[in-house]
Structure 1
Amino acid sequence: MLGGVMTDLNLINKMAFEDLYFKLSLKVDPIIDDTTLRDGVQMPGLAIMPEDAAEIARLLAEVGVERIELHHYQKPDKEAVKLIQKMGLEVRLAGWCRAVKEDIDDAIDCGFEEVGISHPVSYIHFRAKWPNKSPEELLNRVVEVVEYAAKDHGLRVFVHGEDSTRADWEFEKRFINAVAEAGAECYRICDTVGVGLSDPNAQLPNGIPRKIRAIKYETKIRDVEIHAHDDFGNAVENTIAAVRAADGVWNRVYLSTTFLGIGERAGNAETEKVIMNLYMHYGVKKFEGKIQKLTALAQLISKATSYVIPPNKAIVGAYAFAHESGIHTHGVLNDPKTYEPYPPELVGNVRRLTIGKHSGKAIIRHKIIEITGKEPDDWALMKVVEEVKKLYENGRKASLREEEFREILREVGLL
């Protein structure tokens, strides 16, 4: 004990991890409803083969996703649905539908037991798409299709309120109550153009916490869902804000997300980020033992769709645990917790220590020992440091590849 401060290293280690995370708890069950294989693959330039879609679905289920939303219109989509259904995964499968009976029939033909029926709720969309129809006519059409799916065919029905965060609340409230009476069990708040706000003081229609509570207290719908787009970069924050607002108010809250945030325009809330926030910060234990597959799933999606993962992508990017500058590498070599929030192995990633413009003696020495198995003397170490600096003084930008670093070691006589 020094100055009344306990110096027990075990306690310090514990404080640095367990006492930082898992401190909050929830009285609501957050359910991940992943739409990578629907909204995600609508991103320009992406396409996916049925076999790859099935493998992605398998890993989605393994990382803790409880509901997967799927397309089912084109032949490859239908093949993917069949492959996924044959796998018998412990996950609910839902077909995405427009508010037309033909889409419901197609979903039934594909073997779906639940559907999501999407329809706009904002006057902006009404005027642009149906200038000659009144809001009441459009509402009646949606109600008819919901009844057809839920009451006539016994399907579980979610209704997606497209452009909810720009909708007139009085109309949207009548819309939600009408579809609830028609048999819908869940209403999805679609923040279609990403204008939602997480601030509890933000008013309707785009205040996410206020809307979550208003739907509970002013409508008859059983469950609620948030589907956040990232046009302002707030999709994950708005999704977590929905969870906080639902806590103690709703029994469950559905979170519509896409892996890597892929999707229309700026994309969606990333499944992996939402899962990590729920697990690490809110102590949602159902993800325990599953998050180790997050990076593998990201790499599978990248390979299957040709989507290039930004190297600095949080959690699953190649540089998420990469260190190059002298201060950072020195800290990480002594204790990874200095510059890492959790071990990369926790999410199936790896630590990368690279040599570059800002690298110092500590990382260069570490790399020499790693490659040669020997401790370099001071002269050899400084000679290697000088050779690395020369490369960058001559305009090099990229980090050194290992073979390039080995060549320097050969020139210095260390190999």
Structure 2
Amino acid sequence: MIDAVIVKPEEMRECAQVAAQVRHTIHAYPEVGLNLTQTEKTIVEALKSFGCEAIETRVGGADVAGVVCVVKGDQPGRTIGLRADSDALPLNENTGVPYASTRAKHMHACGHDGHVATLLAVVKYFMEHRHFAGTLVAIFQPGEEGFAGARHMVEDGLVERFGIDEFYALHAEPTLDVGTVGFVPGYATANADTFEIVFEGQGGHGSRPQFSKDSIVAMGEAILALQTIVSRNVSPYYAAVVSICCAQSGDPDGTSVMPQKALLRGTTRSYEPEVQDLIERRMNEIAQGIAQTYGIKATVNYTRLYPAMYNTPENVQAAREIAALAIGAANVKEFSRTTGGEDFSFMLLERPGCLFRLGMKDADHTAPVHNEEFDFNDKAIATGAAVLASIALTRMKS
């Protein structure tokens, strides 16, 4: 049996209620990207109201609203980092809640406002219960939605400056019932990469194709050939995705003009580094081979955005056992890995740890994330905060 320090959800109720009000403010004034000035201010004000003094802002750079708060116990121990992402999405909200977004094309549709609130509840609890071993580092990270905020904070010395031994985080999950959590050992999210392929031939008149070098035909062949990467090059024992999401060439009004260029854009997903390498290599080989066949030029830009998030199995096992003691074993679920991207992976490349899923679903909360009707379930804050606090307290003294 693990020697755990447990905080129950009912012990978190008051902290969760205070944090929920902060969430509503953040939800009403969402910000996209890295430089979340108003969100940063709201977080810092909340931390100061709890009595926190060890607060650092702009961790990640001058234009990065990374906030770090340190809470030390009265006994020596290890240092545990808890991370909450804080940015919104470019969506128009349609929830009808009293605290709905006041900004067009800005919405907290992925639950990051709730992640912030949950971590604030943990900090408030720790400030009120200072008799513990170790140090809590609360990390409020902007720019998860495509801006790699975690990478910016890591590159700014997050791990070294604060001496972090392990990282933990959570993410809202609408498919799990409120009051439950879900764990995935090993790879939990995928390598999230993008690509752009430009075929450049020679334009001309559609009635005389023999005097042109047709980039559209090359693009069409590439659309089909790229699909063979997963079906014929990647072993069936591995999972991978190659999706072409944009194909552009020519002018809709130019019915007799053969364009000089044709462009493909899309995304690839994989888990293992060797599969990621294979996809990139084969994409280049296919594009260049087709270009050579048609006597044209191909340029491939392959961008590795977020690495696959690897939940350290030993940490998952410990966190799962701790969660079972905090909220009951029946409320701790197995969860499947996804092909989504998550920049918490940058932190887990530096130190062991894991991210778990926090259930949202009840009669009033059924919308998926990244949907105009999604709203984080305030009832989940106490559950998430209790599990995070229990993990941190136990791992600090281990």
- Give the alignment's TM-score, normalised by structure 2: 0.23
Q: Relative contact order, CA 8 A, sep 6+: which one is greater? A: 2
Structure with greater helix percent: 1
The structure whose Rg is larger is: 1
